Structure 1
Amino acid sequence: MDSCSYGERSCQVTSYEHTLETINVDGLVSFLEAYGNQIKKIYFTHSTKSDKLLSALSKGCCPELRLLEINTKLDGGYSQLPICIQGLQIGCPKLQTFRLMNVTAVPKMIRNIPSSTCGFPMLEELCIATSFHSFMTDNDLNNVLHGSPNLRVLDLRGGSRITPTGLYALPCERLECFYWGLYFNSNTMVASKKGIHMLAQKWSNTLRELDLANQPFSEEDLEIAMGHLAHSVGVEFFRSLNLSGTKITSSALRLLINQAPALKYLNLSSCRYLPRGLKRLYHGQEDIQLLLDKLD
C-alpha cells in the first residue's frame, strides 16, 4: 500500500498490492468502503477470497480505479475466477488497465446488475493471458470491450476459442500491441485457421507489436496479412513480431522486413515452412538485415 496505514485518515491512498491469503479480507473490504475513492491501482494474487474483493469493486467502492491486476503463479495450476464484468464496468467506470494473468475468467451474473452496460469507455489495456487453455469466447470478449474504442494493448495469449471474426467486430480501431500466441500443448485445441489477414488490415496503420506464436493460420493467409502490414502507413514504426511455430514463408517475410526499418525483434523458431538454419530468434536491426539477405 502506498504511504498509508489503516488509521491514517488524512493520507492519500493511490494503490493497493497484496496476497489475499495473508490478510483479513473482510477488514480490507471495510477499508475500501471507507477509503476506496482514493485508490487508483489494485494488484492482488488470486485466491479463494478473491470473490469478496471483486464484489466490493462491483458495488462501486473504488470509483476512481484506473488499474486492476489479478494474477497467479505460472506453476499454480488451472485457476478459475468468477467475474461479473458488467458489475466491474458499473463500479469502475474509469478503468484504463485490466489484467488477468494466468487466471481464467468465468462469467458471473449478480442480481440487480444489468446484463448490458456502456462497458469500459476509458480502457486502454486488456490482458487476459494464460499458459493454459482459455475458454473465453468471442461473446465474452465483446462483453468486456464493446464500449472500449480507445484500446491500445490487447493480450489474449492462450485464447484459442477467440476468432478473427469476433476480433474484427470489436470497436477498437487503433490497436498498437496485439498478443495472441498459444503457449500450451493440447490435442483438443480449438483455433482459427483463417482470417488473420482481416485483423492485419484492420490494425495495419497503428500496430507496433504482434504475437501469433503457434497459431495455425495458412501460408496464404499469413502472406496476405504481412502484405497489409508492409503497405501500411505505420509500417515504419512496427518493431516486434513473433511468428514462432507458424506457417510463415520466406516470401511473406520479405514483404514485411523490406518495409519495416524499426523491426528489432523477430521470432521464427519452429517455423516449418522456412529453410533450415533460419528458424531462430532474431534480435536487433543488424541481425534481421542478415536474415533478409539470406531470404533474398
Structure 2
Amino acid sequence: MRAPKSILQDVDRNFGAMLTPAGCNEIDDQRWGQNLPVEVLVNIFQMVVSQDNAVPFLCRVGRVCRLWNAAASSPILWRTVTLGHCWIPPGKSQLPKTEKKIQDTVTWLAQNRFSQLRDFALCHWTKNVEFTLQAVSQFCPHLGSIKLSYCSGLTAKAFQSLGLHSRALHSINIQYSEFQVEGLLEYLENYGCQIKEISFTHGLKNDKLLAALNRGCCPDLELLEVNTKLDSKDGELPVCIQALQTGCPKLKTFRMLNVRPLHKTMRNGVDSSPGFPCLEELCIATTSYSYMTDKDLLDILFASTKLRVLDLRGCSRITPYGLAQLPCPDLECLFWGQYFNSHIGLPSLKRDFHQVTQLWGQTLQQLDIANQVFTEEDLELAMGYLAAQTKTLRSLNLSGTRITLRGVRYVISRMHALDYLNLSSCRYLPRGFKKIYRGQEEIQQLLDKLKELV
C-alpha cells in the first residue's frame, strides 16, 4: 500500500534530519535508480537501515518514485524500528493538532509497514507512549522485543495490550523510563513464562520486580540487567541470590550495573539452591564502592561451570584466592579494574595474582586489572604464567599497576594474538612507554624498543 503523502511528510519532517547527499545533482541523477530491480534496491536499503534505522529513511525514499516506494515497503526492512524524539522541540508543549498527527502516523506505520516487526524501541517520548505500544501490539504479531529509553506515561493498559496481542514478546527493556510498576507486575504474573530478557533501572518501586522474579514468574528468563542512574544516591540493591537462583534457573546473563547488591537469605532458612548452571556472563561493575566478598561471589557462581565473562570492576574486596576457588574452567573475559576515586579501606598491596593467570591462562581473551595494587614481583610472576600458557589473549589492560619492563617483555614476547595493550599511568615504567598500544604493529614496535634496552 502506497503511503499517503501527508503521512510520509510528517515522518520526514519530525523524526530526523534530511539525508540528501551534499552536492547531489537531482537533474542528472534522478533517473538512475528507476531502472534498478526491486531486489537490488531492497538490498541497498537494508544496508542503510542496519546502520541508520528504518525511520525516517524508508519513509523518505518511499517518496522518490513508485519503484522506490515498492522497495521501501518491503516488510523485511521494517523488522527493527526505533523512534526517537517526536515532534516536540525541547521546552515546548505538544499541541492537540500535533498529537493527532503523531497518532495517525503511528497507526499508519503499524498497519502498513510493521507486519514483520520484531524489535521496537521508543526513545525520549513523554507522551503517546501508551497509544504507540497499543497500536504496535495490535498490528505486529511477530513483535519480539520492546525497549523504552527515557520514556514516561506507561500505564497498565499498555501492558494489558501486550499480554493480549504480543504472544511472541520475549524481551522487555524499560531502563531509565517511568512506568506503572503494578501494570508490569500483573503482566509478568500472567505472561512471564514467555519472557526471556528483562532490563530495568533500580528504584524503590521497581525492586518489586525482583520479588516477582524470585517467585518464579519468569522461569525461562535468560537475561536480567539492573542498572541505576549515574547521579543516583541510592545504589544499594537488596537481593536474595538463593531465591533468584530458584526462580530463574535458566539465567545466562546477569548484570547489576553500578548497584551495590546487599545479599539477603531466604526466610525459610533453606540453604540449598540450584545455583545458576547456565550462567555465561556475570557483571557486578560499579564506579563506587562494593560490598561483594569472596563468599558472596562463590554463592552466586558455585554452579556456573559455563561462565565465560566475569566483570568485577570496582569490586575491591574480591581476592585472587576467591577467584581461584570459582568452578569456571573456561573463563574468557575477566574485568577486574578499579576505577573509583577513593581507595579507603583497601590493603596497601595485594599478592598471589599468579593464581588467577595460572588458572585461566589458557582460555583468557580479555584481561583488565587496571589500578590493582599488586606488587612488582607478583605481577612479573603472574605475567610469566600467562605468557607461558596463553595463545588467545587479545586485550590486556595494566593501566595504573606496578608492572615492570620485565613483566611487559613477558607479555608481548609470547602473546602473538595481542592487539590491545594499555600501559598508561604505570609509574614503574620509563617515560615513553606509558601509553595505549593498539594493533599488533604498535605492539611489535614496543617489543623492538624493549630489545634495544637489553
TM-score over 0.5 (shorter chain): yes
Which of 111, 119, 124 is equivalent to 2:267?
111
Post-superposition CA distance 1:5-58 (Å, at most 9, x none): 434346212111114761111111110011111011011111112321000000
Equivalent in the alignment of 2:288: 132
Cα distance in 2 between the residues matched to 1:94 and 1:9: 26
Q: Where in structure 1 are there 5+ consecutive unaligned residues?
A: none
Label 1:152 to 1:19 Cα distance change in 2 as closer, same or farther (>3 A).
Answer: closer
Cα distance in 1 between the residues matched to 2:166 and 2:444: 58
Preserved CA contact (<8 Å) 1:79 1:103: yes
Equivalent in the alignment of 1:266: 421
Cα distance in 1 between the residues matched to 2:385 and 2:213: 41
Label 1:41 to 1:292 Cα distance change in 2 as closer, same or farther (>3 A).
Answer: same
Structure 2 residue 318 is matched with structure 1 residue 159: no
Post-superposition CA distance 1:250-280 (Å, at most 9, x none): 1111112111111111111110111111101
Deviates more, 1:266-275 or 1:115-124: 115-124
Which of 376, 379, 384 is equivalent to 1:227?
384
Preserved CA contact (<8 Å) 1:87 1:113: no
Cα distance in 1 between the residues matched to 2:325 and 2:314: 20
Q: Where in structure 2 are there 5+ consecutive unaligned residues?
A: 1-118, 121-142, 145-160
Cα distance in 1 between the residues matched to 2:185 and 2:269: 20
Preserved CA contact (<8 Å) 2:362 2:392: no
Cα distance in 1 between the residues matched to 2:342 and 2:301: 28
TM-score scaled to structure 1, two decimals? 0.95
Cα distance in 2 between the residues matched to 1:281 and 1:112: 52
Label 1:189 to 1:281 Cα distance change in 2 as closer, same or farther (>3 A).
Answer: farther
Given residue 269 of structure 1, which amino acid in structure 2 is its aligned partner? Answer: S
Given residue 360 of structure 2, which amino acid in structure 1 is its aligned partner? Answer: W
Cα distance in 1 between the residues matched to 2:401 and 2:176: 39
Structure 2 residue 303 is matched with structure 1 residue 147: yes
Cα distance in 2 between the residues matched to 1:73 and 1:257: 39
Cα distance in 2 between the residues matched to 1:167 and 1:189: 20
Preserved CA contact (<8 Å) 2:371 2:401: yes
* Residue aligned with 1:190, SS: coil
Which of 319, 339, 350 is equivalent to 1:193?
350
Structure 2 residue 206 is matched with structure 1 residue 47: no
Flag as ranges the 4+ runs of structure 1 deviating above 6 A. none
Equivalent in the alignment of 1:171: 327
CA-atom RMSD in angstroms: 1.7
Cα distance in 2 between the residues matched to 1:170 and 1:81: 24
Equivalent in the alignment of 2:391: 236
Equivalent in the alignment of 1:293: 448
* Residue aligned with 2:199, SS: strand
Instruction: Report the alpha carbon displacement of residue 78 of structure 1 after superposing the two structures with TM.
Output: 5.2
Paired residues in the alignment total 294
Larger RCO, structure (CA 8 Å, separation 6 or more):
1
Structure 2 residue 205 is matched with structure 1 residue 56: no
Instruction: Report the alpha carbon displacement of residue 173 of structure 1 after superposing the two structures with TM.
Output: 1.1
Preserved CA contact (<8 Å) 1:101 1:129: yes
* Residue aligned with 1:126, SS: strand
State the percentage of identical aligned residues: 56
Preserved CA contact (<8 Å) 1:208 1:239: yes
Preserved CA contact (<8 Å) 1:120 1:147: yes
Larger relative helix fraction? 2
Which of 339, 360, 373 is equivalent to 1:216?
373
* Residue aligned with 1:63, SS: coil
TM-score scaled to structure 2, two decimals? 0.62
* Residue aligned with 1:27, SS: helix
Deviates more, 1:239-248 or 1:165-174: 165-174
Equivalent in the alignment of 1:100: 256
Preserved CA contact (<8 Å) 1:230 1:256: yes
Cα distance in 2 between the residues matched to 1:260 and 1:245: 21
Preserved CA contact (<8 Å) 1:96 1:122: yes
Instruction: Report the alpha carbon displacement of residue 211 of structure 1 after superposing the two structures with TM.
Output: 0.4
Deviates more, 1:81-90 or 1:19-28: 19-28
- Largest Rg, 1 or 2: 2
Preserved CA contact (<8 Å) 1:12 1:38: yes
Instruction: Report the alpha carbon displacement of residue 95 of structure 1 after superposing the two structures with TM.
Output: 0.2
Preserved CA contact (<8 Å) 1:181 1:212: yes
* Residue aligned with 2:226, SS: strand
